[in-house]
Structure formats: C-alpha cells, structure tokens
C-alpha cells in the first residue's frame, strides 16, 4: 500500500461565517495531498499534464466529523490502498488537526484521460512502474 502525509495550514480565506473551514475547501486540500503523494512517488502531476494526460475526478466522498479552523496546521494522510488497475486510481484521505483529532475522511476516484481523444486510457507505464515498489 502507498501512503504519504502532507501538512496544510488553514488560510483565513478558507473559513466561512460559521468559523469553520468551508466544507467545499477540502476538495482542494485533497488535491494538494494527491499532488504531494505523487511527488513522493517521484511522479510530477505537472509533467503528466504536459504529456497530454489529464486526471479528472470521477467521484468524491467526504464524511465530516469535526470542524477545521483558521490557522490549524492540518495533517492529511493519503493512501492508495490497492494497486490501480485499468484506467482509474482511488485515493483515501484522513485529515487530522494538531491535537490528532480526526476531522474528516474522504475518497476520490480519478481517471486517466488522453487530452487529444478525450478518452480514458490505461495508467501510463511510468506511473505503474513507480507504484510497483509499493505493492510487492
């Protein structure tokens, strides 16, 4: 299983008048976690795109448990629990605050798409080979 960890400091702009991080902002946090997970696998999402592959999100789920607040230093644990097959990859997220309280859990499924054809494609070999080491 692949697992990595990233820290995000909550910005003022991300709060709402309830005094919590707006529920819609976790999607961006999850994406930061994915980008950093890829970077730790030596994969650059930026390069993936520059080679004509995009990764739109097919599905997202979030279960909110406790609120995040301004200036909290969040820890996001991101996991790819099973080695991806076919055209898709699923990430799981757990968000903690500094008191190690679990704030929310989420899941996103993304698909690899060829920009030119607009069609799903199998995971690029470069990514598969990087993932290999984590599942043996």
The residues of the shown chain that bind its own copies, judged by CB under 8 A, are: 9, 11-13, 15-20, 22-28, 31-32, 35, 44-46, 49, 54, 56-64, 67, 70-71
CB of 19 to its own copies, least distance (A): 5
In terms of CB distance, is 25 or 83 closer to its own copies?
Answer: 25
Residue 8: CA count within 13 A, CB half-sphere: 28
CB-nearer residue toward its own copies: 44 or 85 = 44
**DSSP secondary structure string, 9-57?**
EPPGGGB-TTSSB-GGGHHHHHHHHHHHHHHHTT--HHHHHHTTEE--E
**Min dist. Cβ of residue 14 to its own copies (A):** 8
């Amino acid at each position: 299983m692949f697992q990595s960890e990233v820290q995000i400091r909550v910005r003022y702009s991300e709060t709402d008048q309830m005094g919590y991080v707006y529920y819609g902002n976790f999607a961006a946090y999850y994406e930061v976690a994915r980008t950093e997970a890829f970077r730790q696998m030596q994969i650059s999402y930026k390069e993936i795109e520059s080679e004509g592959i995009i990764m739109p999100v097919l599905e997202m789920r979030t279960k909110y448990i406790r609120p995040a607040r301004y200036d909290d230093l969040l820890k996001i644990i991101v996991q790819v629990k099973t080695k991806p097959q076919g055209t898709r990859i699923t990430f799981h997220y757990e968000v903690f605050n500094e008191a190690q309280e679990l704030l929310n859990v989420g899941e996103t499924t993304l698909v690899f798409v060829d920009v030119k054809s607009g069609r799903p494609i199998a995971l690029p070999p470069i990514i598969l080979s990087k993932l290999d080491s984590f599942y043996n």
